[in-house]
Amino acid sequence: MHYRRLGRTALQVSELCLGTMNFGPQTPEDESFAIMDRAIELGINFFDTANRYGGDKGAGATESIIGRWFAQGGGRRDKIVLATKLFGAMSEWPNDGRLSARHIKMACEDSLQRMQTDHIDLYQMHHVDRTAPWEEIWQAMDTLIQQGKITYVGSSNFAGWHIARANEAATRLRTLGLVSEQSHYNLLVRTVELEVLPACREYGVGVIPWSPLSGGLLGGVLGDSDRARRQSPQSLKRIDKLRPKLEQWEKLCGDLGEDPAAVALAWLLAQDGVTCPIIGPRTLGQLDGASLRSLEITLAPDTLTAIDAIFPGPGGTAPEAYAW
């Protein structure tokens, strides 16, 4: 396993981040424990979750599973860079969501309790709150940092100008600001290349792509009839719509002799500013499969050009992508 600095910080995180959203609703607790144990064995030291994760098990269920895994001991917590997120409503009460100072404090306390730990390494805002002043947000976050309850602050699903405003406010307030941004980024969704990635590079913010395989569409879905049959009706419609591109994609990967999922992850790791994509295995086999192979793949320039021809990006950074 190789490690990269998270943005401009000195913190070292693995090139793959273990996403835990499936733990509970899709993956039983014992299998979730096995996946996390295996991740440590493989050198994956970066785990991501959110207070809302849990699906039909209820919000908070995934964090609770992680907490019970930590409680087994064996140095599990000390080996992990732990990231969680807040924003979504945790109840119907009006202040039990979003990014008020009150909710930031309460959400952090609740996540710490569920995960049976005394600190969160990376505390991320799951969405921008257009009603919350940055002075209020940074005051609350800095208080948590001073109390030792969180170490770094990150964002998720922010636009480029949100990242700029957040870090300019942090500079005025003499605090560190955002160190990471989780964005929807894969070969089928490249909008972040316009302004989010350039903003992150400018401010030293590490990019953590989520949904790197676009819900499995980039993982060789055409070549796996069993996987194709398991797709939801919505996914099947997407497959039909994208079939010509997916056929070209899977042929290119076949010519390389590589699994499409591994190539898709390797492509993300080759993008300037990307720290590590989030993988979300439902089973131990998925963790041990193509994800790890991606770390060994170096894509040649002509291969990158061929990939761009199949899945063209937005045309460059802003404003060149849409202006002279």
Strands 278-279 and 120-125: unpaired
Q: Are 185 and 209 within 8 A, CB to CB?
A: yes
Q: Are 282 and 33 within 8 A, CB to CB?
A: no
Residue type, 76: R
CA angle 44, 47, 51 (to 5 degrees): 170
Active site residue 53: yes
C-alpha to C-alpha distance for 14 and 43, rounded to whole angstroms: 7
Strand runs (DSSP E) across the chain, as ranges? 3-5, 12-14, 17-19, 46-48, 81-86, 120-125, 150-156, 178-184, 206-210, 278-279
Q: Are 219 and 198 within 8 A, CB to CB?
A: no
Which candidate in 3, 53, 152, 203 is catalytic?
53
Grouping H, G, I as helix, E, B as strand and the rest as coil, residue 194 is: coil
Q: Annotated active-site positions, please?
A: 53
